[in-house]
Structure 1
Amino acid sequence: MVILGAFLAIVTGLGFSSAALVQKHETLRTGVGPARLLGALVKRWRWLAATLLSVVAWVAQVAALTLAPIALVIPLVGAGTALLVVGGTRWLGERFGRMELVAVVMVAAGGAAAAVGASAVPVSHRALPFVTQLLLGAAALVAAGVAVVRRGGIAMGTAAGCLYAGVTILSKEVGDRFADSGLHAVWLLVASPTIWVLAILAVLGLALEQAAFQRANAASVGAAITALDTTGPILAGFLLYHERFPAGPRGILLGAGIALALGGMVALSRHRFVPAAILSTRP
Structure 2
Amino acid sequence: MAKGSSIGGSVALGGVLVALVLRATTLHSVNGAPLVYRVVSNVNDLDGVEGMAPPGRVVELWYRQRNFKEGTDDASDPFAWCAWKNGGNAVRIGVATADAGGVWRLSDLRHAGTTVMLFPPGPGADRCLGGVYTELLPRACDQPGVNCSAWTRPTLHWLNVRKLRPTIGAVAGSVSGAEQTAAAVADGPDDGPGLGPSDVVDVDENGVDTTAPGYTVGQRVTWRCGAGGTAVCPSVAIHDASTAISTDPEFKFVLGTIQGHRTGGSFIAAAAIPRGTPVGFSVNVNVKFRGMLDVNLGCDRPRFFDFSLAKVF
- TM exceeds 0.5? no
Task: State which structure, 1 or 2, has the greater radius of gyration over its C-alpha atoms.
Answer: 2
More helix by share: 1
| Interval of TM-score (by shorter of Structure 1 and Structure 2) | under 0.3
Q: Please, what TM-score do these two structures have when normalized by structure 2? A: 0.26
Q: Please, what TM-score do these two structures have when normalized by structure 1? A: 0.28
More strand by share: 2
